[in-house]
């Protein structure tokens, strides 16, 4: 994709799932990538499996995005290595589903701390480097849960709703510096974090409501991130691209037994009977 090769990126949550697919895609596009994750073993795996293929273009930083100093350290590492930061992909996130009346303050705070406050730290730290550069793209992994909510996930849904407002706010304020801020909103993606995709009972029921009839693959989300990062989307900012296989388009109905009153078909029936 245009404008990516030779540029530098940070990807959070790079060790697994969607973040790993994004990292792989950006390396394939010729970018230098700093992969950030809280799990050291996941980063070691990433380096072993991708580092050798893309010699010298992948480095990793173990960091918890809910800690501002960790995020700043990751950004410093990218700038020290590559002298600039062209793309920040704020992808890391956690979820949980638990009986809504029993969601504890601790549980609420952890999800908000990582997903919303952590994403704020990422977007702001990236912007602090990008503003003087007068150039940059920020892409956030949000979710359809920002507005098409799922049961017993008050904390997660609220965190993604907040991310949406953050993305729009940052896009509004940073556009004047040539910085674009967008998000991708997947519904259900096959990763370890989704407890639905491999559930033998519930997965088929869920898929009955998905026009494309399947769950997303992480690579399909990575394609959207690459597009939003590239010059191909140079006039898009503050937007969310929904990747849900059609899940949130509407609801299937049975066909009515009879034409509905007032319709042309009902009138035709009436004519025939006289
Ligand atoms: N899987 C889905 O169905 C789905 C749907 C919509 C949105 N999302 C979003 O996509 C993003 C990635 O999710 P995934 O499904 O790939 O999950 P995943 O668990 O497979 O990967 C998430 C990665 O983020 C890392 N991480 C978690 N907390 C972190 C922290 N505090 N600091 C740094 N790294 C941290 C984890 O170690 C892990 O490697 C999340 O923001 C999630 O909310 C996922």
Q: What is the pLDDT of residues 71-100, one digit of tens each?
A: 999 999 999 999 999 999 999 999 999 999
215 CA from centroid of ligand 1 (Å): 16
93 CA from centroid of ligand 1 (Å): 4
264 CA from centroid of ligand 1 (Å): 51
Q: Is the pLDDT of residue 274 over 90?
A: no
Mean pLDDT is lowest, of 44-53, 161-170, 181-190, for 44-53
Q: Output the residue whose Cα is nearest ligand 1's atom 43.
A: 93
Q: Is the pLDDT of residue 273 over 60?
A: no
- The pLDDT of residue 55: 78
Read off the pLDDT of residues 116-145 as tens digits, 9 standing for 90 and up: 999 999 999 999 999 999 999 999 999 999
Q: Is the pLDDT of residue 270 over 80?
A: no
Q: Output the residue whose Cα is nearest ligand 1's atom 1.
A: 189
- The pLDDT of residue 146: 98
**Does the pTM exceed 0.85?**
yes
Q: Which of 15, 19, 75, 93 to probe ligand 1 with, by most ligand atoms within 8 A of CB?
A: 93
Instruction: Using pLDDT thresholds of 50, 70 and 90, give the confidence band for residue 216.
Output: very high
274 CA from centroid of ligand 1 (Å): 65
Distance (Å, whole) CA 8 – CA 58: 10
- The pLDDT of residue 153: 98
Sign of CA dihedral 92, 97, 100, 104: negative
The answer to whether the CB of 36 falls within 8 A of the CB of 74 is yes
- The pLDDT of residue 269: 80
Instruction: Using pLDDT thresholds of 50, 70 and 90, give the confidence band for residue 272.
Output: low
Residue 251 CB neighbours (<10 A)? 6
Residues with a catalytic annotation lie at 156
CB neighbour list of residue 38: distance below 8 Å, 6 or more residues apart: 62, 63, 64, 65, 92
Q: Which residues form ligand 1's pocket by a CB distance below 6 Å?
A: 12-13, 15-19, 37-39, 42, 64-66, 91-95, 114, 118, 141, 143, 186, 188-189, 191-194
- The pLDDT of residue 271: 67
Q: Output the residue whose Cα is nearest ligand 1's atom 32.
A: 64
């Amino acid at each position: 994709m245009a404008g990516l090769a030779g540029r530098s990126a940070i990807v959070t949550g790079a060790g697994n799932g969607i973040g790993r697919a994004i990292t792989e895609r950006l390396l394939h596009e010729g970018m230098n990538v700093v992969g950030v994750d809280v799990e050291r073993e996941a980063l070691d795996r990433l380096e072993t499996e991708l580092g050798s293929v893309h010699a010298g273009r992948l480095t990793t930083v173990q960091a918890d995005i809910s800690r501002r100093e960790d995020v700043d350290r990751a950004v410093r590492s990218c700038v020290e290595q590559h002298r600039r930061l062209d793309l920040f992909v704020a992808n890391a996130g956690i979820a949980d589903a638990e009986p809504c009346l029993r969601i504890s303050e601790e549980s609420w705070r952890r999800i908000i701390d990582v997903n919303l406050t952590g994403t704020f730290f990422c977007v702001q730290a990236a912007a602090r480097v990008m503003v003087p550069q007068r150039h940059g793209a920020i892409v956030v992994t949000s979710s359809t849960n920002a507005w098409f909510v799922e049961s017993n996930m008050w904390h997660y849904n609220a965190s993604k709703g907040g991310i949406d407002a953050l993305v729009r706010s940052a896009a509004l304020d940073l556009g004047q510096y040539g910085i674009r801020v967008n998000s991708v909103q997947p519904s259900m993606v096959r990763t370890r974090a989704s407890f639905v995709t491999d559930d033998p009972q519930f997965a088929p029921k869920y898929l009955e409501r998905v026009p494309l009839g399947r769950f997303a693959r992480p690579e399909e989300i990575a394609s959207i991130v690459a597009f939003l990062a590239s010059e191909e989307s140079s006039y898009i900012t503050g937007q969310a691209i929904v990747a849900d296989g059609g899940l949130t388009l509407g609801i299937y109905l049975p066909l009515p037994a009879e034409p509905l009153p007032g319709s042309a078909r009902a009138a035709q029936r009436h004519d025939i009977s006289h």
